[in-house]
Structure 1
Amino acid sequence: MKTFLNTINGKSAGSDRTFASYNPATGETLGMVPHSSDDQVAQAVAAAKAAQPGWAALPDGERKALMMKVADLLKENSEVLAEWVVREQGKPLGGVGPDQVPGARFEAWGCEAWTRVPANLDLPVDVVFEDETRRDEMHRKPYGVIAAVAPWNWPLLIAIWQIIPGLRTGSTVVIKPSEYTSIGTLEMVRMISEALPPGVLNTVSGPGEVGAALVGHPDVDKILFTGSAATGSRIAEIAARNLTPTTMELGGNDAAIVLPDADPQQIAMSIFWGAFINMGQTCAAAKRIYVHESKYEAMVAALKAIATQMPMGNGMDAGVVMGPIQNRMQYSKVVGLVEKARQEGATIVCGGQEPGGRGNFYPLTLVSHIKDGAALVDQEQFGPVLPIISYKNVEDAIASANRLDVGLGASVWSNDVQQAKAVASRIQAGTVWINQHGMIHPMVPFGGVKKSGWGSEGGIDGLKAVTVPQVISIKKG
């Protein structure tokens, strides 16, 4: 059985201990992954720290050019990387274009796109004040060493979100992939490191204790984390000991509000993919749908017609558009939430039964006649289950959308864009989409409010988030 290796200071690095990575569609072992030791974590951070001054000293044009070489390598290896995503994470291959299923090929393409865009963005010196007596300039400086902890749901794309902005602005990076999806990330870093000086980008792998050692290292200058609120809370506690700044994306429980004038048939497919992209295992997927009572039954029927026709299976097979839940822990959570909803009297419109057999497959499940306060509504299910809730007036829907302590994304659906904007402005979320959901873009900042985290990724704001502001104030005359 092959053991896939970390990259530390430009060289491959194994470990005395290893663990297995599994295919969630088949249960087969894909390979072994190093369980990095504390010493190896320290070596990775030391390599990043030693490489950082030289990396930051490169002319900006040279760093841009190297980022474009990284993008070229991602493009050249896109099919290999996409296949790793299928085997290790579970999402089907899918395609890239607007009419294609957004699967593993989309993720691999996204890695390239989210590299090329930052590579071509600038953070010029900004004159924040000037008069006859003084000139005040805002400069942006690299943090130094960035520690990144990536999740299992979009293991390559979110890793790139964490890696590239820091490298682009002169920091170096040590990244720990999720223990559930390590191989694809380790392979991606191995590939793109060919374009980078040694020590600029390093990996360590293993369970939570490895991540704790990384984010707690005193030579780490900034922490980027995407994952659960529970883990984020522990990382924030560790970071506080060294006063290390953080950017946290901690998931959400996105509400979608369907206004009374919306046409269920017209919007059903868009809402479906807003909810079930990546089998619902997306932080900014629509996870609770509020539909006006006049359109409720029609909306439920339209979503059912789509959900019951979607082919599910091994993502490497032709025609498959839905894959498995990535791991058994998450699978058990999804099953438990559906069973609790059933016991409490909700209607299981479709799905809701474990199929048995190999793999972590669970059918697309719609749940109707359910209310706020139910666990399936109030907790982030992060799986292929969607509760659909009826409301009487728009004020009730807005109150429902805002009642939870998270606020990553939300959406409003209406034929009247101005009315939708008025509703959107009152929703407590980092992003509110209108007549779409979860439509990210590399030029658009993304982040949450409340317990969905803080800080931004993407666009100019994402670059600023991995730099330190420095004012240079010049006396004239």
Structure 2
Amino acid sequence: MTITFDSLLSEITDPNGREILDPATGEVVGKARFEGVEVLDAAIARAKAAQPAWAACSDEDRAGLLLQAADAIDAATEPLAELLSREQGKPLNGPNARFEVGACATWLRATATTELPVQVLLDGDEGSAEMYYRPLGVVGAIGPWNWPMMITVWQIAPALRMGNTTVVKPSEYTPLSVLALVAVINSVLPENVLTVVAGEGDLGARLSSHPDIDKLMFTGSTRTGQSIIKSSADTIKRLTLELGGNDAGIVLPDVDPKAIAEELFWGAFINTGQTCAALKRLYVHTDVYDEVCTELAAVARSMPMGRGLDENNVLGPLQNKAQYDIVANLVERARESGATILVGGTPDADAPGHFYPTTLVSNIAPDNALVTEEQFGPALPIIRYETVDEAIELANGLDVGLGASVWSSDRDAARKIAARIQAGTVWINKHGGIHPMVPFGGVKMSGYGLEFGVEGLKSVSAPQVISG
């Protein structure tokens, strides 16, 4: 049966549920049923009861079902992308809605085909010892509103592959996307192996304290991550936390500004800047500062912003009014400080939706709030520096460390600088690129734990040594 947007929406919409609005127009996208803690508790109980049978399936069988789930997502790409665009705001084209849905299938396939063999630790006169990785039990997953489908798959795919059952709590801003994604995946999975319960923040708090949740995966703010750490302490729950970022980029004086301008732009403005590992503060050497600003501004002016269902647009609105206000306030404070607004900075107050124009800010002090606070939107501060040591000190000066980048025509020199930057990932001549086989995670207040690849499988498993 062909899945259409209307059929998909009707499957997940509750006539008595909460209205979810399109951030581009304010129109109602659908209605999501928001549940209470008692419904979540019942879902966890069902997941716990289903877990032994799921763990008893062969690894080959579980991997095969994940591959079938990827095929099911492929078959539903267009309705899933349309729903995502309407609910989250991101355009269909560019590195946006269709890209995100495609990434869900890609990550499922990569996770299904990643091998985690038994590790032989000793095998000789001293004896034998082997390391196995066993299921933990029930894994809870709390996702964000910026990449709601893709990040949910990052969380659930390795958990399911390793024999855990999972309970998902989506963001209250983007529940429909995750409800639809789970409905598609569940068309091939056994009952109660994967469950989604939409609701308010009290559900997340319950997941982090519930004694039958053995592992919790969370992507979101550092403040919420701190609360999760505290509330999970009594049950000594395993955690993977991907928290706030404020990624730095360092541009060396040997670059060709025109050649790197578009990569710089997408490093900062992918998903209209609403990405944890986006480039959020750009340090440029004084020798190329003006030219980098000029070339980056030219790219920014060429990128169309508007409603996501318009095939021509590649930038969309901010997903919610609260985030819009954060961006607008930070840019206004930068303007008042004497910084130069190169592009943007003046939203149309009468236009519908949460659109904030693509904004570049130059001649800004390193301690300005737009630099030191994560804006999480389409506004990039460009800071001038004189020496590489100064740039590294500024890049490392904040309490976050998710990603960073170095831009140079000399790759060896860039790698040496990268080694001095305090971040979980440092990219060379790009920013934010991820791969399902390359581990990803932050340092400092950006969280702990790794996702993706072999390390991602290990993170949702209990290591067991058999020695004899």
Question: Normalising to structure 1: TM-score of the pair?
Answer: 0.95
2:286 maps to what in 1? Answer: 293
Deviations 1:348-407 (Å, cap 9, x if unpaired)?
Answer: 111001212100001000000012111000001000000000000000000010000000
1:141 aligned residue (125, 134, 137): 134
Question: SS state of the match for residue 195, structure 1?
Answer: coil
1:251 maps to what in 2? Answer: 244
1:433 aligns with 2:427: yes
Distance 1:164 1:396 in 2: 41
Distance 1:354 1:445 in 2: 38
Structure 1 gap ranges (5+): 95-100
State the shift of 1:4 in Å.
9.2
Task: Compute the RMSD of aligned alpha carbons.
Answer: 1.7
8 Å contact kept, 2:207–2:216: no
For 2:186, the aligned partner's letter is S
1:82 maps to what in 2? Answer: 81
2:413 maps to what in 1? Answer: 419
Q: Where does 1:106-145 land on structure 2 (aligned, <5 Å)? A: 106-145=99-138
1:334 aligns with 2:327: yes
Moved over 3 A (4+): 2-7, 12-15
For 2:237, the aligned partner's letter is T
Distance 2:43 2:115 in 1: 28
Question: SS state of the match for residue 384, structure 2?
Answer: strand
Q: 1:14 to 1:23 in 2, by over 3 A?
A: closer
Distance 2:197 2:225 in 1: 19
1:277 aligns with 2:270: yes
8 Å contact kept, 1:325–1:331: yes
2:152 maps to what in 1? Answer: 159
State the shift of 1:213 in Å.
1.7
1:229 maps to what in 2? Answer: 222
Q: Where does 1:2-401 land on structure 2 (aligned, <5 Å)? A: 18-94=17-93, 101-356=94-349, 357-401=351-395
2:3 maps to what in 1? Answer: none
For 2:378, the aligned partner's letter is P
Question: SS state of the match for residue 294, structure 1?
Answer: coil
For 2:65, the aligned partner's letter is L
Distance 1:55 1:81 in 2: 27
Distance 1:325 1:91 in 2: 9
8 Å contact kept, 2:14–2:31: no
Q: 1:393 to 1:400 in 2, by over 3 A?
A: same
State the shift of 1:318 in Å.
2.4
8 Å contact kept, 1:64–1:119: yes
* Higher mean C-alpha displacement, 301-310 vs 323-332: 301-310
State the shift of 1:148 in Å.
0.4
For 1:63, the aligned partner's letter is R
Question: SS state of the match for residue 40, structure 2?
Answer: helix
State the shift of 1:138 in Å.
0.4
Question: SS state of the match for residue 47, structure 1?
Answer: helix
For 2:429, the aligned partner's letter is N
* Higher mean C-alpha displacement, 17-26 vs 407-416: 17-26
For 2:212, the aligned partner's letter is D
* Higher mean C-alpha displacement, 242-251 vs 209-218: 209-218
Distance 1:93 1:134 in 2: 58
Structure 2 gap ranges (5+): 1-5
1:466 maps to what in 2? Answer: 460
Distance 2:259 2:218 in 1: 37
Question: SS state of the match for residue 186, structure 2?
Answer: helix
8 Å contact kept, 2:143–2:220: yes
Question: SS state of the match for residue 308, structure 1?
Answer: helix
8 Å contact kept, 2:9–2:30: no
Question: SS state of the match for residue 148, structure 2?
Answer: coil
Distance 1:251 1:472 in 2: 39
**Equivalent residues, number:** 462
Question: SS state of the match for residue 64, structure 2?
Answer: helix
Q: 1:160 to 1:6 in 2, by over 3 A?
A: farther
8 Å contact kept, 1:4–1:33: no
State the shift of 1:70 in Å.
0.6
State the shift of 1:3 in Å.
13
8 Å contact kept, 1:4–1:31: no
* Higher mean C-alpha displacement, 130-139 vs 68-77: 130-139
Distance 1:126 1:239 in 2: 30
1:98 maps to what in 2? Answer: none
Distance 1:59 1:154 in 2: 31
State the shift of 1:233 in Å.
1.0
1:450 maps to what in 2? Answer: 444
2:396 aligned residue (399, 402, 412): 402
8 Å contact kept, 2:104–2:149: yes
8 Å contact kept, 1:177–1:204: yes
8 Å contact kept, 1:249–1:447: yes
Question: SS state of the match for residue 324, structure 1?
Answer: coil
Distance 1:362 1:39 in 2: 39
Question: SS state of the match for residue 156, structure 1?
Answer: helix
Distance 1:248 1:259 in 2: 32
Distance 2:305 2:184 in 1: 31
Deviations 1:282-321 (Å, cap 9, x if unpaired)?
Answer: 0000000000000000000001111112111101012111
For 2:321, the aligned partner's letter is R
State the shift of 1:14 in Å.
6.6
State the shift of 1:88 in Å.
0.5
Distance 1:169 1:344 in 2: 52
For 1:256, the aligned partner's letter is G
Question: SS state of the match for residue 442, structure 1?
Answer: coil
* Higher mean C-alpha displacement, 139-148 vs 28-37: 28-37
Distance 1:428 1:382 in 2: 20
Distance 1:466 1:5 in 2: 32
Deviations 1:144-177 (Å, cap 9, x if unpaired)?
Answer: 0000000000010000001110000000000011
Q: 1:321 to 1:112 in 2, by over 3 A?
A: same
State the shift of 1:218 in Å.
1.0
Distance 1:207 1:334 in 2: 24
